A and B are shown apart, each in its own frame.
Chain A
Amino acid sequence: MSDARTSAERDRWRGLPEWMRPRPVELPGSGRLRLIETTLLVLLGLLLAVATVNDVVRQTHVNHRLIADLTTWRSYTGRPYHNLSIEQELFGPASQHEVICGNTSPGAPKAKTQLCLVIYGPISGGRRTVHGGWYLPAKVEDVRADRYGCFGAASRGMCPR
């Protein structure tokens, strides 16, 4: 910035108190502001790091549960299918109750009549317990109106009739 411009700019802001006037470059100062900023940044970084690690651990536990649920569906139905859908929200996200749906005969995902199982409880021998379930016609999503043949305690009130 030229001296003439610097001087003109200084004149322009002369009415402001010193602490409010703009500067072309920062004064070296005592470094107190930088120290405060850096401390806040480090604390925020720590919070984000802890939150990230916590989430990875949480997701890993969820994955272990889902692996057990998929194994349970396959052993319960005797079908070794891989294209199964998993619903974790139906009974509440914190319930750890999962609904696993899959075809009852070979075909593309949701192309055949589907069997949905409500699975929860602790993992034992790589599986969890089936507490009920229902059937769905082909090519529909899992909504109450389309469910039929509900069975087991967990499916009480889940079918339309």
Chain B
Amino acid sequence: MSVATQGERGVARIRSEWWRPALLSLLALLLVLATGEIVLDGAAGRSPLIPKSPAIAGWLQGIGERLGYRVFLIAILGFAVAYGAMLLLTRGAGARAITKRWAIVLIVALHAIVFAGPILISTDVFSYIAYARMGVEHGINPYLHGPVAISRDPIFQYVGHDWRHVATAYGPLYTLFSYPFAPLGAKGALWAMKIIAQLASAGTLVLIWRCARARDLDPVWAILAVGANPLYVIYGVGGAHNDLLMLLLMMVAVSLTLRGRDAAAGAVVVAGALVKATVAALLPFMILSRRRLAPILGALAAVAAGAVVAYAAFGVHGVDIVAALNRDAAFVSTDSFATEIAHLFGKPGVFPVDHDLLKASLVLIALHLMWRTWRGYDWIAASGWTLLAISVTSTWLLAWYILWPLPLAVLTRDRRLVLATLALQALFLLHQTSPLFAPVQ
């Protein structure tokens, strides 16, 4: 075939795909509109989806109407469908379909809209602030007492009812990291948490870009798949969750490993686990894949340093992360797949024996993945599968937990992982839809 013929075919293909950029722009507009609808209606207040909060989005009041379940669900489902279509249209199409600048503008717009609005869906951020204020303003160990110990503090009224008596389950590194924001007051600390969530998200996306390029994958598709994901934007960034900080450290570790800095990577995984323990799941796969002493030594050094700091700051309770994890592992949420399967088989819910079965399944899956990593399977994919398995087998499932495997899923050539992660997210959203069919008022 001559070069001229190839060139003509290329031009013809580009001409025949004129609709692709137009459709992508329309889909992007849908994402922005859906996010705007949720944020503006959420700012109107009195919504069951917006937690009681210090007034940080008052300047948006009067534009939207009270955010009800129906509008929220239609907006988030529209967001999800547009996002799915966008990923399909851009997968493998590279720069023909979408430019780097276009993707960044869209992601920045979505983040900016969420930043301007109220805290969405979850009260967790108020727990983070309450634990920080317990330590800094009241001299109370947040690993020993729940926020009820500071019931006269201005932040207490915003902490979720279920968490008022619960001591922190977050890692000591995160608790210490949050301490400097405690003196800023409820409103100041809340803004600080929102800024941290934005910065952590930006850092995560930059590292995803770099890692995708290092692995010869499409970096534009990778950042779009994470940065424009409905659960990531609305639940993760919208709720200013500290999971974003954990994901940032996870991506730092992946990035360091790809650059051959194994000791530092091992240490950063441990640092991530001292923010939120889940990320420790990466460590065995990293070690099995590298088969060097460096990540083990790095991890051990970080564990030792972390234990000393945690003990100095919080005593023995700050070091005992396993006890906090065991306590949280006993929680059951209606959105967990375990509860759904129990209902399918006619049981009212999850029983203690089910917890044991789920833990055993998780161990088997992790062992199988470790064996495969030892025999050459991609350790990043294996880590992603493990994080996904943790979400599926957890009896306490929240939207932002299904985000954990996504940054890893977009960095592997095993397409099954990204498909499984997105399918699970779709099922999670589907499970929220019953108020659409029968709204209780």
Contacts and interface: CB of A to CB of B under 8 A. Distances in A.
A52 B431 contact: yes
A24 B375 CA distance: 7
B279 to A, nearest CB: 23
Given A41-B416, A51-B344, A63 B337 contact: no
A9 B344 contact: no
B420 A51 contact: no
A145 interface: no
A75 interface: no
Interface in B397-437: 416, 420, 423-424, 427, 430-431, 433-435, 437
Interface string B376-394: 1100000000000000100
A71 to B, nearest CB: 10
A66 B340 CA distance: 20
A75 B291 CA distance: 71
Nearest to B435: A63
B375 A54 contact: no
A22 B439 contact: no
A57 to B, nearest CB: 8
Interface residues of A, number: 34
A47 B341 contact: yes
B430 A56 contact: yes
A48 B343 contact: no
B427 A63 contact: no
Interface string A25-62: 11100000000011001001101111111111011110
A79 interface: no
Nearest to A53: B430
A63 B440 contact: yes
Given A9-B291, A93-B349, A48 B392 contact: yes
Contact of A26 (B377, B423, B430, B441): B377
Contacts of B348: 93-94
Nearest to B420: A41
Given A9-B291, A45-B423, A51 B440 contact: no
Contacts of B376: 22-27
A53 B423 CA distance: 14
Given A22-B291, A24-B376, A49 B420 contact: no
B304 interface: no
A63 B349 CA distance: 18
Given A48-B392, A64-B438, A82-B441, A55 B291 contact: no
B374 interface: yes
A54 B434 contact: no
B423 A60 contact: no
Contacts of B340: 48, 51-52, 54-55
Nearest to B377: A26
A55 B335 CA distance: 9
Interface residues of B, number: 31
Question: Which secondary structure characterizes the binding site on chain A?
Answer: helix
Contact of B424 (A24, A38, A48, A82): A48
Contacts of A25: 376
Contacts of B440: 63, 66-67, 70
Interface string B65-95: 0000000000000000000000000000000
Nearest to B434: A59
Interface in B321-350: 337, 339-341, 343-344, 348-349
A89 to B, nearest CB: 9
A67 B427 CA distance: 25
Contact of A55 (B343, B372, B437, B439): B343
Nearest to B441: A82
Contacts of B288: 22
A50 B437 contact: no
A49 B427 contact: yes
B423 A51 contact: no
Interface in B32-53: none
Nearest to A54: B344
Given A50-B344, A93-B348, A63 B438 contact: yes
Contacts of A93: 348-349
Given A55-B344, A58-B343, A22 B375 contact: yes
Given A22-B374, A52-B337, A67-B440, 10 more contacts: A47-B341, A51-B337, A51-B341, A54-B340, A54-B344, A59-B434, A60-B437, A63-B438, A67-B439, A94-B348
Interface of B: 288, 291, 337, 339-341, 343-344, 348-349, 372, 374-377, 392, 416, 420, 423-424, 427, 430-431, 433-435, 437-441
23 contacts: A9-B291, A22-B288, A22-B291, A23-B374, A23-B375, A23-B376, A26-B372, A26-B376, A41-B420, A45-B420, A45-B423, A48-B340, A48-B424, A51-B341, A51-B343, A52-B427, A52-B430, A54-B344, A55-B344, A56-B434, A63-B437, A63-B440, A82-B441
Top 7 nearest A-B pairs (CB, nearest first) are A63-B438, A23-B376, A26-B376, A59-B434, A51-B340, A51-B344, A93-B348
